[in-house]
Structure 1
Amino acid sequence: MNLRTMTLALISSLIAFSSYAAAPSGDGPYVLYKNNQIEVRSIVMENGVQKVKLATYPVSKKAVVPINVEFSEHPEWNFSVKLQAALKNEPAEFKQPDKLLALSDIEGEFEALRKLLLANKVMDEQYNWTFGKGQLVICGDLFDRGEEVPATIWLLYKLEQDAKAKGGYLHTILGNHDIMNLSGDLRYVQPKYMSNAKLMELDYMELYGPDAEIGRWLRSKNLIEKIGDNLCLHAGVAPVINDLKMSLKEINDRCRPFYDQDRKSITIPDKAVELLFDGGRSSLFWYRGYFVEPKATEAEVDQTLALYQVKTIIVGHTITDTNVGFYYKGKVLGIDVNQHAGKHEGALYENKTWFKINTTGSKTTIGTY
């Protein structure tokens, strides 16, 4: 292919992508609290045209407010959600479950998440939790790139409640894209979400702000958790973070007030917390030192394991050809795969064995660590 042909092909691709990205679609619902009222906004498609729906309820009726997640192209995917009575900050440590499914970097790919959860019997077609006392951990990145960000988050919000009712648990850990959306770094947000916010007469930042239900829910989540023998987070623990010798609870509690702070306009006065947010170098949600040079040494990985008394560190954030897979002699488990390119996989711990799983229900042994 000559240069002119390649250039024309690239231009055609960009035009096609632009047209696709600009295509109108449904969105929401978004739940906001204003003047002691609950406002539920959504965008629905009627004869190919976007229509804004707004319903208002008194806060006293929160338990019965209908939250309906609808898909114009796939009505069979529709589901409803009950608003949680109260949102509390998550604990930092949990006992080892018999079954643990670990996924990461869903980034708005609702169909991929739905297929993974169905194939691995975490839920049924009606979105009921069927994983029993098993636990599901999402190691960060719910936002950006994908076309169904709100639906993805609402599904986790719903299953979190169902899991607890059945003796299981759903852990949602925040990644860099989640922190970016909370703090106003919107460089990867799909343009349609900006347009839709304007159509609903809102600023995009209000959709996940402190007066929004999902915004409040996200702020209750952690950056790092210990689930039995596993340390779960988005990116990794840099050697300099080991040196802080902070407990997991302390890390989460001290970082939480800065989740939604614009880093361009504020300076974090707490030097330890500054290290935990330091993008690209030591941040728990940006670090790539398990996979990219300069890499952490095995001794530094061992230091993290000893500090938090775990056997395995489970991370997303960095895609490699060998994910889902183990590194550092089974001490680090990388689970980030390119969901947008159709690679839908995760890691399942069951019967004291780790398996790579996908959307077909098949399981491939990757370790007995």
Structure 2
Amino acid sequence: MVSPFKISIQVPNYKDDLHYFTFRMHEIPKNEACEYSTPSQLFVVSDIEGNFAPLFKLLVAGGVISQKMEWLYGSGHVVILGDCFDRGEEVTECLWLIYGLEEKAKRHGGHVHYILGNHEIMNMNGDWRYVHPRYAVGTVSLTDPPAALYYANDELWRWLQSKNVIERIGNYLFVHGGVSRELLDLRLSLSEINALARPYYSHKFPEFLSDNTLHTLFSADISPFWYRGYYNGVADKSLVKNTLKFYNSKHIITGHTMLETITFFFDGKVINVNTDHANNFSEGLMVMKNKFYRVFTNGEYHKIG
């Protein structure tokens, strides 16, 4: 359900000051499901980090939205694979765009997924190491819910609390960092991972050191938010194979570790979609009929895999 109350947000850095996108406020958000059947098509973007223009251009190039930010993707699903926060200047605008697209997608039988990354967690528990100065103003107590970005903005706070750490959509397992061996050894279902993590999104990490499960979920090297093992030599084929088997998936799709281009690893079983949006090397991943395409901001598609 949505509220009749509408909000208009000015598009940042547009050629004029009269370009806005409009959306309706949601009702009280419910926690997202974490398993979905295979949609007609998928579009995946990761690590936007407050850069509105690349996000907008990729969504247009992928046929997800129009220049007027109308939903064009029908029953397709869009996955925002974490790290919309930090570094760039338009974090708020990125969040509200995604927020608004959720309702528009549902009206057409589609869905927008927002998987949390390490930068969401750092901001939700008041970690300011990477926050752009525009948002890090005033005096903020780190014991309070974050942060300068959320001044008087309980709506985005509640909305982010409803999001998941990990989801499966059809045969695709989505997680920002990855599934470490330590996490897999816990033998937790997707719903258990999300249910255990959600109450602690805004807690400081030292509280977890005495609890092995929470330590695994939030500790930098092995957490699903932070794990880089697929790309630094820590993970091996057996870990990938066992993860896919346990979670009944065929591919693991991650962000977090930046690469020059969307890249396949482990014989195509792991896919990294994090490219350098801040420096005009943006790519999105399109999945249609089990085929994979790089999508560029100029509208070009390149088949991969």
> What TM-score results when the alignment is normalised by the length of structure 2?
0.92
> What TM-score results when the alignment is normalised by the length of structure 1?
0.77
Q: Distance in 1 between matches of 2:11 and 2:21?
A: 9
Structure 2 counterpart of 1:141 = 83
Structure 2 counterpart of 1:359 = 297
TM superposition shift of 1:261: 0.8
Structure 2 counterpart of 1:339 = 277
Name the CA shift for 1:286/1:210 in 2 (closer, same or farther; >3 Å).
farther
TM superposition shift of 1:341: 1.1
Q: Distance in 1 between matches of 2:165 and 2:4?
A: 31
The answer on whether the counterparts of 1:194 and 1:204 sit within 8 Å (CA) in structure 2 is no
Residues 1:288 and 2:228 are matched in the alignment: yes
Q: Secondary structure at the match of 1:192?
A: coil
Q: Distance in 2 between matches of 1:220 and 1:204?
A: 16
The answer on whether the counterparts of 2:82 and 2:114 sit within 8 Å (CA) in structure 1 is yes
The answer on whether the counterparts of 2:252 and 2:270 sit within 8 Å (CA) in structure 1 is yes
TM superposition shift of 1:226: 0.3
Q: Secondary structure at the match of 2:182?
A: helix
Which one of the candidate residues 297, 302, 307 is aligned to 2:241? Answer: 302
| Letter of the 2:118 counterpart | N
Structure 2 counterpart of 1:249 = 191
| Letter of the 1:148 counterpart | E
Identity over the aligned pairs, expressed in percent? 39
Structure 1 counterpart of 2:59 = 117
TM superposition shift of 1:263: 2.1
Q: Distance in 2 between matches of 1:79 and 1:172?
A: 19
The answer on whether the counterparts of 2:65 and 2:73 sit within 8 Å (CA) in structure 1 is yes
Q: Distance in 1 between matches of 2:122 and 2:195?
A: 19
Structure 2 counterpart of 1:312 = 251
Which one of the candidate residues 80, 86, 92 is aligned to 1:150? Answer: 92
Runs of 4+ in 1 over 4 A off after TM superposition: none
CA RMSD across the alignment: 2.1
Higher RCO by CA contacts (8 Å cutoff, separation 6 or greater): 2
Structure 1 counterpart of 2:134 = 192
Structure 2 counterpart of 1:36 = none
Residues 1:221 and 2:163 are matched in the alignment: yes
The answer on whether the counterparts of 2:123 and 2:146 sit within 8 Å (CA) in structure 1 is no
| Letter of the 1:176 counterpart | N
Which one of the candidate residues 188, 192, 217 is aligned to 1:276? Answer: 217
Alignment length (residue pairs): 299
Structure 1 counterpart of 2:288 = 350
1:256-271 equivalence runs, <5 A: 256-264=198-206, 266-267=207-208, 270-271=211-212
Q: Distance in 2 between matches of 1:184 and 1:119?
A: 34
The answer on whether the counterparts of 2:7 and 2:24 sit within 8 Å (CA) in structure 1 is yes
Post-superposition Cα deviations, 1:133-158, rounded to whole Å, max 9, x if no partner, equal 11100110010011100000000000
Which one of the candidate residues 268, 274, 279 is aligned to 1:330? Answer: 268
Structure 1 counterpart of 2:121 = 179
| Letter of the 1:192 counterpart | R
TM superposition shift of 1:71: 4.0
Name the CA shift for 1:73/1:232 in 2 (closer, same or farther; >3 Å).
closer
TM superposition shift of 1:127: 1.1
Post-superposition Cα deviations, 1:101-123, rounded to whole Å, max 9, x if no partner, equal 11100011101111011111101
- Structure 1 gap ranges (5+): 1-61
Q: Distance in 1 between matches of 2:265 and 2:245?
A: 17
Structure 1 counterpart of 2:176 = 234
- Structure 2 gap ranges (5+): none
1:58-97 equivalence runs, <5 A: 63-71=3-11, 73-74=13-14, 75=17, 77-97=19-39
Post-superposition Cα deviations, 1:206-237, rounded to whole Å, max 9, x if no partner, equal 64389710010000000100000000010111
TM superposition shift of 1:190: 0.7
